[in-house]
Structure 1
Amino acid sequence: MPFDAVLLAGGRARRFGADKPAAPLGGRTLLEWAAAAVSGASRLIVVGPRRDVLPGAVVVREDPPGAGPVPALRAGLAEVRSPWLVLLAADLPFLRPGHVARLLDAAGERPGAVLLDDGHREQWLAGCWRAAALRDALSGYTGASLRGLLGPLGPALVALPAGTRPAWYDCDTPEDLAAAEHLL
């Protein structure tokens, strides 16, 4: 199914202490790992500062920069042309195209699908959505929470086997990045 990808790569990364999407892991940046997971996207949209690692990506900024995931989603969604989009954080080094395909398949007739972690918690920055459903939801939404925006849409919940490199693993701290390096 055709889809565009929106990678959120403009957060403040307070716990990380540096430009998290540009952090190297196994010869790639975290942003490059996330982009590889959506290699089948018709259009790659990166919300955040311009980085010279993804030629051909559409780069936009949320207003104001660093305002959080809901304004970032608004900025990215404005560039989406496909009926579906995959929404990802830029710090998911173990998410693969097969996982993205599972999300898209699971959505079916629903407005979207979201990945569950090993504790069965929704990972709102690892999902796929009907662009029209997101536009409708955002039109009247004044909150700042992705859960508050996306949860009421009733997405399909996708649990994947944990394995040694769980798809939902994100690198929020330098320690998380170091642990990911050992899992590669």
Structure 2
Amino acid sequence: MGPGAGPFDAVVLAGGRARRFGADKPAAPLGGRALIEWTAAAASGASRLIVVGPPRDVLPGAVLVREDPPGAGPLPALRAGLAEVRAPRLALLAADMPFLRPAHLARLLDAMGGRRGAVLVDEDGREQWLAGCWRADALRTALGAYTGASLRGLLGPLGPAAVALPAGTRPAWFDCDTPEELAAAERLL
């Protein structure tokens, strides 16, 4: 077993207002599946799949929770999801990443080593805060002390390992924030 072996839970943030998308983005169809199903498949190795957002019928067996108030943003969503985490580590993921795969999560978990987390970086080296793996206790401690409102402000100081993957034609960090990006993802599938 490699350093990344061992249990982890997955927290998928699937709420939000999707202002740029104009519809229920996680439920949007792509290649015969809802976007959120692609992300859930990437987290298939998780002990528990925790979905933060409105109820959807596409993920039987998932633990469903809501942030308070609904649509309040990623930090309240993370707080709600983290309350359901039982494993010592977790993957924190956006619900709209159709090219993320289990091998990418394995790479993140391996990259953690003794660190508090690991996060994917895009081809320009920018952290993708909703494509990372974290130690649950470190996130709980950080959330308890954090008074800001951004994921970067919460997660950046944890000093995560930066994991760069070959971009290829279907980068793991690609997300579908607009109908145009969803159409582009459909073409890339």
TM, length-normalised to structure 2: 0.97
* TM-aligned CA deviation for residue 65 of structure 1: 0.3
Aligned to 1:38: 43
- Residues 1:101 and 2:91 aligned together: no
Aligned to 1:132: 137
Query: Cα RMSD over matched residues?
Result: 0.4
Choose from 40, 62, 69 the match for 1:57: 62
- Residues 1:112 and 2:136 aligned together: no
* TM-aligned CA deviation for residue 38 of structure 1: 0.3
Gaps of 5+ in 1: none
Gaps of 5+ in 2: 1-5
1:1-184 correspondence runs (5 A): 1-184=6-189
Distance in 1 (alpha carbons) for counterparts of 2:85 and 2:12: 12
Distance in 2 (alpha carbons) for counterparts of 1:29 and 1:108: 33
Distance in 1 (alpha carbons) for counterparts of 2:80 and 2:88: 16
Q: In structure 2, the residue corresponding to 1:126 is in which secondary structure?
A: strand
Distance in 2 (alpha carbons) for counterparts of 1:108 and 1:25: 34
Distance in 2 (alpha carbons) for counterparts of 1:69 and 1:16: 17
* TM-aligned CA deviation for residue 149 of structure 1: 0.1
TM, length-normalised to structure 1: 0.99
**Aligned residue pairs, count:** 184
Letter in 1 for 2:86: R
Q: In structure 1, the residue corresponding to 2:55 is in which secondary structure?
A: coil
* TM-aligned CA deviation for residue 119 of structure 1: 1.1
Q: In structure 2, the residue corresponding to 1:5 is in which secondary structure?
A: strand
Q: In structure 2, the residue corresponding to 1:59 is in which secondary structure?
A: strand
* TM-aligned CA deviation for residue 142 of structure 1: 1.5
Distance in 2 (alpha carbons) for counterparts of 1:142 and 1:65: 19
Distance in 2 (alpha carbons) for counterparts of 1:154 and 1:36: 27
Aligned to 2:3: none
Q: Deviations over 1:83-126 (max 9, x none)?
A: 00000000000000000000000011000000001111000000
Runs of 4+ in 1 over 2 A off after TM superposition: none
* TM-aligned CA deviation for residue 140 of structure 1: 1.1
* TM-aligned CA deviation for residue 143 of structure 1: 1.1
Q: Deviations over 1:13-68 (max 9, x none)?
A: 00000000000000000000000000000000000000000000000000000000
* TM-aligned CA deviation for residue 139 of structure 1: 0.5
Distance in 1 (alpha carbons) for counterparts of 2:115 and 2:38: 27
